[in-house]
Amino acid sequence: GQQVMQIPQYQHVQEGEDFTTYCNSSTTLSNIQWYKQRPGGHPVFLIQLVKSGEVKKQKRLTFQFGEAKKNSSLHITATQTTDVGTYFCAGPAGAGSYQLTFGKGTKLSVIP
Amino acid sequence: DSGVTQTPKHLITATGQRVTLRCSPRSGDLSVYWYQQSLDQGLQFLIQYYNGEERAKGNILERFSAQQFPDLHSELNLSSLELGDSALYFCASSVVTSGTTDTQYFGPGTRLTVL
């Protein structure tokens, strides 16, 4: 079945440094979603990308969808302690599927 | 607050026992998804229901079962519990719009500890 690979698994950064997590799919995705899970919390939807090459920004967060729609990235500029958590990408489990396949996530730690 | 509720918040039980986890979706959402999250693991999809009917199945063990009731709340039943079943169980809901994968709204989760 469709797999979504995410790297790195863990990332420790100094506050103020940038952070990037990458997501790769074995198949072309119709769309990709990103979620954030704070420590002790539940996943919360951040954004959905649909178009090839799409770039969306949310304040210090920049999301990109690859031209081939098989990879995506999330970049955080000048990390803050509030950015701590695990970031998951997720794509449809298959063509026409409403089920999401989640990557294993990137756990971000920010050292103040 | 996502609007998805899950009960109980915590559950401690013994091996071999049976438990039921409950989820109420957001108002208006017809689909419910169940996920298992073990320590430092990703979200493992278990099963999806849409408007009372099973829509998709993931890596759900035969000892586990679920259902969605006419009022759209869902229950996940876990039986013959083993130590390895200890995990966070999340329920998520979505509207299910044709032609796209909807945003999923997650509940706060039920933390199951099997002793």
User: Which 3 state secondary structure label does DSSP give A104?
Assistant: coil
**Partners of residue B41 in chain A, C-beta under 8 Å:** 104
Query: What amino acid occupies position B28?
Result: G
- DSSP code per residue over B71-84: TS-EEEEE-S--GG
The C-alpha atoms of residue B99 and residue A40 are separated, in whole angstroms, by 33
CA distance A80 to chain B (A): 22
- Residue whose tokens read 């013994």: B14
Q: Does A85 touch chain B (CB under 8 A)?
A: no
Span B17-59, pLDDT tens digits: 999 999 999 999 999 999 999 976 789 999 999 999 998 899 8
Q: List per-residue pLDDT tens for chain A, 112 residues long.
A: 668 999 999 999 999 999 999 999 989 999 999 999 999 999 999 999 999 999 999 999 999 999 999 999 999 999 999 999 999 999 988 777 778 899 999 999 999 9
What is the Cα–Cα distance from B113 to A111, expressed in whole angstroms?
A: 31
Closest CA to A65 of A57, A76, A53: A53
The structure tokens listed for B78 are: 């876990």
**Spatial distance between the Cα atoms of B50 and B56, rounded to a whole number of angstroms:** 9
CB contact under 8 A, B103 and A45: yes
Peptide bond before residue B8 is cis, with ω within 30 degrees of 0: yes
CA A55/CA A76 separation, integer angstroms: 13
Chain-centroid distance, C-alpha A36: 8
How far is the C-alpha of B96 from the C-alpha of A12, rounded, in Å? 37
